[in-house]
Amino acid sequence: MIDTDKRFKRTASKFLDELTIKFAGDSGDGIQLTGQKFAELASNSGETVKTMPDFPAEIRAPVGTLGGVSGFQIRTGTDSIYTHGNKLDVLVVMNPASLKRNTDNLKENGIIVVNQDTFTEKNLAKAGYEQNPIDDGCLDAFRVFPVSISKLTLLALKGSGLSRKEMDRCKNFFSLGLICWLFPKPTKEVEHWIAAKFKNSSLLAQANLSVFQAGWNYGETEELFATNYRISNPELNERPAGSSFVTGNKAIASALVKSARKAGIKLFLGGYPITPATEVMQELLKHQDKDVIAFQAEDEIAAIGTALGASYTGALGATCTSGPGLALMGEFINLAVMTELPLVIIDVQRAGPSTGVPTKTEQSDLFQALWGRNGESPIPVLAASTPQDCFNVTVEASRIAIKYMTPVIVMSDLYLSAGTEAWVEPELDDLPEIAANFFAKGEGYAPYRRDLETLARSWAVPGTPGSIHIVGGLEKNGESGAVSYDPDDHEQMTYLRAKKIAGISNDISLGRTYGDKDAQLLLVGWGSTYGAIMEATEQLQASGYKVACTQIRHINPIPNGFGELLKRFDNVLVIENNLGQLWMKLRAEYLLDLKKLCKVQGSPFNVIEITTHVRTILTDESLAVSEGEAL
Binding site for another protein (CB under 8 A): 266, 268, 270, 288-290, 293, 295, 297-299, 301-302, 304-315, 317, 331-332, 335, 339, 461-474, 483
| Min CB(186)–another protein separation in Å | 38
| Min CB(406)–another protein separation in Å | 17
Q: Which is nearer to another protein, 124 or 315 (CB)?
A: 315
Q: Which is nearer to another protein, 306 or 361 (CB)?
A: 306
| Min CB(185)–another protein separation in Å | 38
Is the CB of residue 269 less than 8 Å from the CB of residue 304? no
H or E stretch at 371: helix 366-371
* Other beta carbons less than 10 A from residue 486's beta carbon: 12
| Min CB(302)–another protein separation in Å | 4
- With the CA atoms of 136, 139, 142 and 145 taken in that order, what torsion angle do they form, in degrees rounded to the nearest 10? -60
| Min CB(190)–another protein separation in Å | 34
| CA-only gyration radius of the chain, Å | 27
Q: Which is nearer to another protein, 58 or 376 (CB)?
A: 376
In order of 96, 272, 512, 521, 563, the CA distances from 546 in angstroms are 45, 47, 17, 7, 20
Full 3-state SS string of 159-209: CCCCCHHHHHCCHHHHHHHHHHHHCCCCCHHHHHHHHHHCCCCHHHHHHHH
Q: Which is nearer to another protein, 177 or 270 (CB)?
A: 270
Is the CB of residue 69 less than 8 Å from the CB of residue 25? yes
CB neighbour class for 457 (10 Å; exposed up to 12, middle 13-18, buried from 19): buried
| Min CB(464)–another protein separation in Å | 6
Distance (Å, rounded) from C-alpha 278 to C-alpha 249?
A: 8
CA-angle at 516, arms to 613 and 528, nearest 5°: 55
CB neighbour class for 3 (10 Å; exposed up to 12, middle 13-18, buried from 19): exposed
Distance (Å, rounded) from C-alpha 287 to C-alpha 472?
A: 32
| Min CB(407)–another protein separation in Å | 14
Q: Which is nearer to another protein, 471 or 617 (CB)?
A: 471
| Min CB(556)–another protein separation in Å | 23
Task: Tell me the CB-side half-sphere exposure of residue 560, using CA atoms within 13 A.
Answer: 7
CB neighbour class for 399 (10 Å; exposed up to 12, middle 13-18, buried from 19): buried
Q: Which is nearer to another protein, 285 or 424 (CB)?
A: 285
Distance (Å, rounded) from C-alpha 139 to C-alpha 233?
A: 33
Is the CB of residue 335 less than 8 Å from the CB of residue 473? yes
Q: Which is nearer to another protein, 217 or 464 (CB)?
A: 464
Distance (Å, rounded) from C-alpha 34 to C-alpha 51?
A: 12
Q: Which is nearer to another protein, 432 or 473 (CB)?
A: 473
| Min CB(390)–another protein separation in Å | 24
Q: Which is nearer to another protein, 128 or 462 (CB)?
A: 462
Distance (Å, rounded) from C-alpha 472 to C-alpha 34?
A: 52
| Min CB(295)–another protein separation in Å | 6
| Min CB(315)–another protein separation in Å | 4
